[in-house]
Amino acid sequence: MTTLISTPPPNQSTEQRFIQTGVSWSNFKSIQNGFAEKPGVRLFYYRGELEILSTSPEHEIVKGNIGFLIENYMVKQEIDFVGTGSFSLEKEDEASAQADESYCFGEQKSIPDLAIEVVITSGGTNKLRRYKALGVKEVWFGEDGVISLHYLEGSDYQRVSQSRFLPNLDINLLAQCAAITSRVQAVREFRG
C-alpha cells in the first residue's frame, strides 16, 4: 500500500511524506543509497515499512534552534556530551531512523542516549517503535509548539515530564524558543 501525503496550502509547511509497505531490507538499502546525496530527504524503515520525508525550512529552523539551545545549555551546565547529529541508526532487517538531533552523555556510544525528532507534517510518537527496536533510551518529539519526552523503561516508552538526562532543562521554554525564527532572538529568550 502506498500513501502520499499531499502538499499543504502555500501558507503551511512544504514537507511531504511518502510511505510504502512491503519493502525488504535490501530494497530499503538500495533506495537509501539512491538518496544519499539528496539534502533535505530523510528515510526511515521499520519492519517492511519505508517512509521518505522531505524536510521544509520550518523544520530546519526548529531543529536547528533545538540543537543549538540544548548544546548551549549543556555547555553552560558543564554536562559532558557528544553530539551525534542526524546519522542513521540501524538494526539490520528491522529498523532505521535518522533523528534530527541525537546525543550521547559521558562518551560516544553506538546508539545515542537521546534522540530528538521535529514533526511538522505528521509521524510523531508512532516513530517510537523504531527507536525502541534500536534501543534509544530517551526520545523527544517537537510538534505544534510542544516537546513531548519519552523514556524507555523496561520494554516500553513512558511519557515523562522531565528529561532523565537533562532534568533541570525547562522543556516548555525550550519549545517556545525553538519556534522563534531568529536564532539570536531564540537564544535571548531562552537565556531570559
Q: Please write down the HEC assignment for all residues of 125-160.
A: HHHHHHHHHHCCCEEEEEECCEEEEEEEECCEEEEE
Q: pLDDT digits over 114-171, tens only?
A: 999 998 766 666 789 999 999 999 999 998 889 999 999 999 999 999 999 999 999 9
Q: What kind of fold does domain 57-191 have according to CATH? A: tt1808, chain A (3.90.1570)
Q: How far is CA 32 from CA 74, 96, 114, 133, in A?
A: 33, 10, 23, 19
- Please give the pLDDT value at position 173: 96
Closest-CA residue to 40 (of 16, 6, 7): 16
CA–CA distance, 170 with 45 (Å, rounded to integer): 32
Closest-CA residue to 176 (of 81, 99, 65, 39): 65
Q: How far is CA 87 from CA 10, 84, 124, 145, in A?
A: 31, 7, 19, 25
Residue 93 or 121, more confident:
93
- Please give the pLDDT value at position 55: 83
Q: pLDDT digits over 40-55, tens only?
A: 888 999 999 999 988 8
Q: How many CA atoms within 13 Å lie on the side-chain side of 81?
A: 24
Contact 142, 117 (CB under 8 A): yes
- Residue 149's DSSP bridge partners are 140, 160
The full set of domain ranges for the chain reads 57-191
Q: What would the grid cell of residue 149 be?
A: 519526552
> How many residues make up the chain in this entry?
192
Q: What is the pTM of this model?
A: 0.86
- Please give the pLDDT value at position 14: 65
CA–CA distance, 61 with 182 (Å, rounded to integer): 9
- Please give the pLDDT value at position 53: 87
CA–CA distance, 24 with 21 (Å, rounded to integer): 9
